[in-house]
């Protein structure tokens, strides 16, 4: 494994794309199957797949920010205030830019951003897995990420694909010693979702660890240290800048963004509310099945993390996925969103990717194909039903 301080020899871009091509083609095939299934299912139910992907749930909030800016809010009968200040600005900025430069609507601009970002994310997942475990594992990592039951969100006008792309490439930059690039991408990730803190934490821990190692063996030149320090300074600027701006706009100071989230009944309670939600499922037999599913799902996430530790995943990946998991599972609201919020934690999938890569090609293709069909059906059923809150 390449040391954090030793960049890989940079491959020509065309060569890097050719190396990632099988993974990207596999990704397109899986997501294409999912979208075709969604279109057929939606048509049979008299719904528009296009609307489900571009103009429902959070997508509407992002397009309102793109079109009208910040300041829109909804006051609910129970007194809660849902403000669009809860939504970080990078996706709506891109939607506004594309709308201004093309005939696309804000909603369709969001779909375009997600489409391109999902490909960039798949490439980034491949780059990280390829760097750590080799090309075959990289291809399988992309497939496993595409095959997630909630993978259809990757094709929605949501911010998950954009965030995952920025996070994956920032982590790859950390792993290959490109500290300024890592810091810039981490700052952009921090402008995309609150969980951008996970990217910052991963970069900071990796940089601090490298500084500690160098105390016993200082490098010959000082430039790498300056790059690392500057990258560390850049990394939190996106999230910190937006949070401070929200506090200034609301007049509530640095904690203003937390008040905005409180209006959505969302906060960090260490997982207490989620545990109560899961426990309440066991009060009757039908809902107990859902409770068992929740417990099994959380246990699977924890098990995958532990396996990643045992397999020697690089420290930045462990820190990143650990923070994403903690923020997702310990949030106090929107329990149905947990699988979607966990989707950017792609390092959790590396043990599964390794297992898949060790199968014969014919067998791994059969497994991936079967899971792809199940995932496509679930995604179509989900979006035509309750969908992501």
How many CA atoms within 13 Å lie on the side-chain side of 16? 14
H helices present in 176-217, as ranges: 179-190, 196-214
The angle formed by the CA atoms of residues 286, 384 and 342, to the nearest 5 degrees, is 75
For residue 172, pLDDT beyond 80 = yes
Q: What is the pLDDT of residue 168?
A: 98
Structure tokens at 51: 């609307």
The angle formed by the CA atoms of residues 318, 322 and 326, to the nearest 5 degrees, is 180
For residue 3, pLDDT beyond 80 = no
Q: How many C-beta neighbours within 10 Å does residue 15 have?
A: 10
CA distance 250 to 247: 5
- In this prediction the pTM is 0.94
Helices 196-214 and 160-175: crossing angle in degrees, nearest 10, is 10
Q: What is the pLDDT of residue 10?
A: 42
Q: How many C-beta neighbours within 10 Å does residue 170 have?
A: 30
Q: What is the pLDDT of residue 9?
A: 36
Whole-number percent of the chain with pLDDT over 90: 81
User: Which residues are bridge partners to 82 per DSSP?
Assistant: 74
CA-to-CA separations, 341 to 134, 226, 321, 388, in angstroms, rounded: 27, 34, 11, 10
pLDDT band per the 50, 70, 90 thresholds, residue 283: confident
Per residue in 240-264, pLDDT (tens digit) is: 999 999 999 999 998 899 999 999 9
Nearest to 49 by CA among 380, 297, 387: 380
Structure tokens at 199: 């990217």
For residue 87, pLDDT beyond 70 = yes
For residue 14, pLDDT beyond 90 = no
pLDDT band per the 50, 70, 90 thresholds, residue 363: very high
For residue 197, pLDDT beyond 80 = yes
């Amino acid at each position: 494994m390449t040391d954090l301080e030793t960049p890989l020899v940079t491959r020509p871009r065309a060569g890097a794309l050719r190396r990632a091509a099988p993974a990207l083609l596999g990704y397109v095939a899986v997501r294409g199957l999912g979208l075709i299934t969604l279109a057929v299912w939606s048509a049979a139910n008299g719904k528009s797949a296009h609307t489900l992907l571009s103009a429902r749930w959070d997508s509407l909030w992002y397009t309102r920010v793109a079109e009208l800016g910040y300041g829109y809010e909804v006051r609910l009968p129970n007194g809660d205030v849902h403000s669009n200040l809860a939504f970080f600005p990078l996706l709506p900025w891109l939607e506004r830019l594309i709308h201004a430069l093309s005939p696309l609507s804000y909603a369709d601009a969001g779909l375009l951003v997600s489409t391109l970002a999902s490909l960039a994310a798949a490439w980034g997942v491949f780059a990280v897995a390829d760097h750590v475990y080799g090309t075959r594992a990289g291809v399988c990592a992309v497939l496993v990420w595409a095959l997630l039951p909630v993978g259809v969100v990757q094709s929605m006008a949501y911010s998950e694909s954009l965030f995952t792309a920025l996070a994956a490439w920032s982590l790859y930059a950390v792993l290959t010693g490109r500290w300024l690039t890592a810091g810039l991408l981490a700052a952009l990730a921090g402008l995309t979702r609150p969980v951008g803190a996970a990217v910052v934490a991963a970069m900071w821990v990796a940089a601090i660890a490298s500084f500690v190692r160098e105390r016993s063996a200082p490098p010959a030149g000082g430039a790498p240290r300056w790059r690392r320090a500057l990258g560390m300074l850049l990394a939190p600027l996106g999230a910190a800048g937006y949070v401070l701006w929200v506090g200034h706009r609301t007049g509530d100071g640095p904690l203003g963004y937390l008040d905005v989230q409180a209006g959505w009944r969302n906060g960090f309670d260490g997982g207490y509310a989620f545990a109560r939600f899961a426990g309440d499922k066991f009060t009757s037999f039908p809902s107990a099945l859902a409770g068992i599913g929740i417990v099994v799902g959380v246990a699977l996430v924890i098990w995958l993390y532990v396996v990643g530790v045992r397999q020697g995943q690089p420290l930045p990946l462990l820190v990143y996925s650990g923070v994403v998991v903690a923020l997702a599972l310990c949030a106090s609201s929107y329990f149905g969103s947990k699988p979607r919020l966990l989707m950017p934690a792609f390092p959790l999938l590396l043990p599964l990717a390794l297992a898949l890569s060790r199968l014969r090609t014919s067998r791994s293709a059969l497994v991936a194909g079967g899971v792809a069909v199940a995932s496509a059906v679930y995604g179509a059923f989900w979006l035509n039903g309750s969908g992501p809150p």
